């Protein structure tokens, strides 16, 4: 059939056919902050140990665990990170539908923004602490969050399930344990699992939640009204330092001092040994120093 279209209509039709417009998706619509360009700098999926992969971008990590009976994903980055993560899943020989569970460290847009899109596309169940499940359902944490004024709402995932501290998710040959490490958010959760390599054996991988002492302007860690939050940070530092931890992964690579390892792994994945039994305790030590420094600064300003 022949269409008699006026010539002027053609550019508009051509525009409508461009992928950018065709692909507009409310769940992956880019969120912007002063960090998002940095958080979208690309890198490939990197093999860590056994079936564990470090996915995400150069400066914002997520993880994919191949359990032999489906995939478990830890965090999903920004909304616009979800298509990148899905491409990385394909690049390591899996389908997005292979994702069975998405575990969330914290309900902030840089770690949980892409969860709704990945959950929709995969059909996976999203698992997090009770606080984080409630926050995810609302698209973010509330006014109780010390970063509230600096945060943006993000797409809310469906199919949410709460887990208790110490709760275990079993899939294939993998068991992932939830370890609550509150402070940075009330519901912050670290995830610990066994990664097994046929030749080299099994190692414990810990994906440590962010424990950075940051807040919106004017919110003070030294305020007695905020003692519960500051106390929860300190308890989490102790807990993190004592976690089984052959290999440390963190959402923000700098929290695990992993930038050099990641750069080396991009050049040659086989050249990098991710094992470091001291890494969790060292990270806890740096987070402790960060909180101490912050409190000292607040007190000096009084
Ligand atoms: Zn955060």
| Structural domain of 261 | 33-301
CATH code for position 257:
3.60.15.10
Distance linking the first and last C-alpha atoms of the chain: 79
Q: Confidence class of residue 302 from pLDDT cuts 50, 70 and 90? A: confident
11 part of a folded domain: no
253 C-alpha to ligand 1 centroid (Å): 13
Cα dihedral 249→250→252→258 (10° resolution): -30
Beta sheet of 168-171, edge-to-edge order:
168-171, 174-180, 189-197, 201-208, 247-250
209 C-alpha to ligand 1 centroid (Å): 9
23 part of a folded domain: no
Phi first, then psi: what are they for 183, rounded to 5°?
A: 150, -75
| C-beta of residue 165 within 8 angstroms of C-beta of residue 180 | yes
52 C-alpha to ligand 1 centroid (Å): 23
Over range 81-106, report the average pLDDT: 98
pTM over 0.75: yes
Count of structural domains, the chain: 1
91 part of a folded domain: yes
pLDDT digits (tens, 9 = 90+) for 235-269: 999 999 999 999 999 999 999 999 999 999 999 99
Over range 158-182, report the average pLDDT: 98
94 C-alpha to ligand 1 centroid (Å): 29
2 C-alpha to ligand 1 centroid (Å): 56
State the pLDDT at residue 189.
Answer: 98
């Amino acid at each position: 059939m022949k269409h008699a279209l006026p010539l002027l209509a053609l550019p508009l039709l051509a525009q409508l056919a461009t992928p950018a417009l065709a692909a507009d998706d409310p769940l992956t619509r880019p969120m912007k902050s002063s960090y998002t360009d940095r958080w979208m700098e690309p890198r490939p999926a990197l093999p860590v140990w056994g079936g564990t992969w470090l996915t995400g971008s150069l400066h914002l990590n997520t993880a994919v665990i191949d359990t032999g009976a489906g995939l478990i994903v830890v965090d999903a980055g920004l909304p616009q990170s979800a298509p990148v993560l899905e491409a990385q899943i394909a690049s390591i020989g899996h389908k997005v539908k292979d994702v069975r569970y998405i575990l969330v460290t914290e309900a902030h847009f840089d770690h949980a923004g892409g969860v709704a899109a990945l959950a929709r596309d995969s059909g996976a169940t999203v698992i997090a602490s009770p606080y984080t499940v409630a926050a995810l359902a609302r698209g973010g944490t509330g006014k109780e969050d010390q970063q509230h004024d600096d945060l943006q709402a993000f797409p809310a995932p469906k199919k949410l399930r709460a887990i208790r501290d110490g709760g275990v998710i079993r899939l294939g040959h993998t068991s992932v344990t939830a370890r609550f490490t509150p402070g940075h958010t009330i519901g912050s959760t670290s995830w610990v699992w066994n990664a097994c390599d046929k030749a080299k054996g099994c190692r414990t991988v810990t994906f440590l939640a962010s424990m950075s002492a940051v807040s919106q302007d004017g919110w003070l860690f030294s305020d007695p009204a905020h003692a519960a939050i500051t106390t929860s940070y300190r308890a989490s530092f102790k807990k993190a330092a004592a976690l089984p931890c052959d290999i440390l992964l963190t959402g923000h690579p700098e929290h695990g001092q992993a930038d050099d390892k990641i750069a080396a792994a991009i050049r040659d994945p086989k050249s990098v040994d991710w094992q470091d039994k001291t890494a969790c305790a060292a990270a806890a030590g740096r987070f402790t120093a960060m909180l101490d420094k912050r409190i000292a600064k607040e007190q000096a300003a009084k």
